[in-house]
Structures are given as C-alpha cells and as structure tokens.
C-alpha cells in the first residue's frame, strides 16, 4: 500500500467542493486513482 502526501488545504478544499462543512462529519476520505477525493460521512444517530 502506498501512502500519499496531501496538503491539509487541498483536503479541506476537496471537502468543501463535495459539500462537507466540517471534517468531523467525515468517517473516511479516499484519494481515488483519478486524483479526486471521495468522502464517506459518519452516520447520524436518530434521537
């Protein structure tokens, strides 16, 4: 497995472009082979 170095500002920009307002909402971020980032959000608990 190869580790990618990604600047925090680039990650934050990708998150904003994907509609993520707060990185605490993100459970997993994946850097895809095409260079895009996929974000998987935490499940919200029903109250």
pLDDT tens profile 15-40: 999 999 999 999 999 999 998 999 99
* Per-domain residue ranges of the chain: 8-41
pLDDT of residue 4: 72
pLDDT of residue 2: 61
pTM across the whole model:
0.75
Q: What is each CA distance from 42 to 6, 25, 26, in whole angstroms?
A: 22, 6, 6
pLDDT band at 5 (very low <50, low <70, confident <90, very high): confident
From 11, 5, 45, select the one nearest 28 (Cα to Cα). 11
pLDDT band at 44 (very low <50, low <70, confident <90, very high): confident
């Amino acid at each position: 497995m190869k580790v990618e170095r990604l600047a925090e500002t680039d990650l934050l920009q990708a998150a904003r472009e994907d509609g993520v307002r707060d990185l605490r909402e993100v459970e997993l971020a994946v850097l895809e082979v095409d260079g895009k980032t996929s974000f998987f959000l935490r499940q919200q608990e029903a109250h």
